Chains A and B, each alone.
With several copies, the nearest count.
Chain A
Amino acid sequence: MTGIVALYIFMLAAFTGYEVISRVPVILHTPLMSGSNFVHGIVLVGAMVALGGAQTPLEKTIGFIGVLLAAGNAVGGYVVTERMLEMFKSSGARRKGAAPEKH
């Protein structure tokens, strides 16, 4: 990937992230923080590749720690986000059903 193309991808991804989050209601701040926390758990694939290519014991040790931490990020982030949003599901459904007159 050439430098300028990398820059374009960076710029566009940044705009996308910014726009996706803009105008989010306060009540969703914590679940959304946790959800985006889960998303950067994708670092797991990088850590897998790093450990998968590790040769010296040092590299293997660091790689092992990396995969362990990254897996914790991904799994933990998913579990807590899911638990929090589970509660909003019911309230969201209720909102739709019970109070359609609210704008």
Chain B
Amino acid sequence: MPAALSADSLIQASYFVTAVLFIMGLKRMSSPVTARSGILWAGAGMLVATLITFLFPGMTNFPLIIAAMVVGGSLAWWSGKRVAMTNMPQMIALYNGMGGGGAAAIAAVELYRGEAQNYATSTLAVVGGIIGAVSFSGSAIAFGKLQGLITRSIRFSGQQILNLLLLAAAAGLGGLVAFHLNASPAVVTGFFVLALLLGLTMTLPIGGADMPVVISLYNALTGLAVGFEGFVLNNAAMIIAGTVVGSAGTLLTQLMAKAMNRSLGNVLFSGFGDTGSAAVGEVQGSLKPIEAADAGVMMAFAQKVIVVPGYGMAVAQAQHKIWELCQLLIDRGVTVRFAIHPVAGRMPGHMNVLLAEAGVPYDLIADLEEINAEFETADVALIIGANDVVNPVARTDKSSPIYGMPILNADKAKNVIVIKRGKGAGFSGIENGLFYLDNTRMLYGDAQKAAAELIQAIKAVD
């Protein structure tokens, strides 16, 4: 069958090209300048692999395949185009969970079919299946939490023991299947149900603030599951892409946990980052409001202003107004810098994305290490919808849930102006002593509105 043979070599060659394009694409995505082209490379690889797979020898069920692709693909396209930037993390979780589900489905087809495989393949199918299923249900919970569908973190003593028991039971059934002791449909079904349950119980106790790290972890796990199923199907593109993502994702997860000053074990098992249970600290002093007019004058005559944007700026979509405001200040000769905390907002790089969107030049943007020594020399620190990332309690109070997280030293500035709508707490739900300091003034209002008022005030100075 020379036709089948040559189709096979064509498929093999295309998968090779796809693997190379994926690696080059990921490489390009890890530098800001080439990032955009990276996704195009990877996308080209995906297109090649998908199209060529239709030529796979012995394929049937084409209508079903195309129907499933159209339904899944267009739903994802539609939702991906619509989702707001602030909701990106949960959307990534959702798509990632779908990938995990896909890997689990492959494993299920192989295991239900139960054709004689060697131990190695059936073991890989089982391992990939459990990882994929955990990633599927776990990512669904992560989505629910970040989307606000699940608001409480369910937690009870013995949680870890339950997880261990579930894992042991799933592994036991998986072992029966893998070693061909009992691969009846009932056992296979039980195996997948337990794996899905495990994903739920593992993820439910984890607080929302840690979700980006957890999503990244499930992302790595899905990669691993895909790689394992690739070995089962002897599909090189899946093996390479899955393993590369598995390893890259593991590293990325560690880097993200580090940026939040947490260890991965701590994220998974400590239950920190829960909006519900965090203690609300007691703070002495009073909040001192300020009018936009006065705040505008204060900034107009400052030598140096450092802007600290936070989640509130993102929800108010105030970045354009803020940049307009800063341009006015720069025209007056004021030195303006933006101080970006690594976990400001709700996803890593959140603030950078928004400021880039508004057109703020890169050289005005500084990260935590660069800028922290500069606050002492600033006349005004303008806090816009940020809270936890400037909370000095992280430096001092060991019992605080954010203790140890590096923060921006806005309290060292000569004057602090805080834009927020009211007395709302930040993500971690704790009080912020910075707002009660003698040199702090509160400018109440939606960030966008407040910025507009400040612009008026500064224009009125001349």
Contacts and interface: CB of A to CB of B under 8 A. Distances in A.
Instruction: Indicate yes or no for A touching B, C-beta below 8 A.
Output: yes
B204 interface: no
Contact of A64 (B64, B85, B226): B64
Given A15-B23, A36-B252, A41-B99, A92 B36 contact: yes
Contacts of A96: 33
B368 to A, nearest CB: 9
A64 B68 contact: yes
Given A24-B30, A70-B99, A3 B212 contact: no
A70 B30 contact: no
B158 interface: no
A50 B33 CA distance: 39
A27 to B, nearest CB: 4
B101 A33 contact: no
A49 B103 CA distance: 12
Contacts of A53: 58-60
A46 B112 contact: no
Contacts of A14: 243-244, 246-247
B72 A69 contact: yes
Contacts, number: 416
Contacts of A42: 18, 22, 46, 49, 226, 237-238, 241-242
Given A12-B240, A32-B252, A73 B35 contact: no
A33 B59 CA distance: 33
Interface string A10-30: 111111111111111111111
B347 interface: yes
A47 B105 contact: yes
Nearest to A7: B16
A76 B356 contact: no
Contacts of A47: 102, 105-106
A39 B42 CA distance: 7
Given A42-B237, A49-B53, A36 B245 contact: yes
Interface string A51-66: 1111010111011111
Contacts of B427: none
Interface stretch (B75-83, B263-271, B299-307, B383-391): B75-83
B153 interface: no
Given A50-B110, A52-B65, A29 B83 contact: no
B76 A71 contact: yes
A91 B136 CA distance: 34
A8 B35 contact: no
A95 B76 contact: no
Contacts of B212: 29-30, 33
Interface of B: 12-13, 15-16, 18-20, 22-23, 25-27, 29-36, 38-40, 42-43, 46, 49-50, 53-54, 56, 58-62, 64-65, 67-77, 79-81, 83, 85, 88-89, 91-92, 94-96, 98-99, 101-106, 108-110, 112-113, 120, 136, 185, 212, 215-216, 219, 222-223, 226-227, 229-231, 233-252, 255-256, 259, 340, 342, 347-350, 352-353, 356-357, 359, 361-363, 367
27 contacts: A17-B26, A18-B248, A20-B244, A24-B31, A28-B35, A28-B349, A30-B88, A30-B349, A33-B212, A33-B215, A39-B42, A40-B222, A43-B106, A43-B226, A47-B102, A49-B53, A54-B61, A60-B64, A65-B105, A69-B99, A70-B98, A73-B99, A78-B80, A84-B353, A89-B35, A89-B36, A92-B33
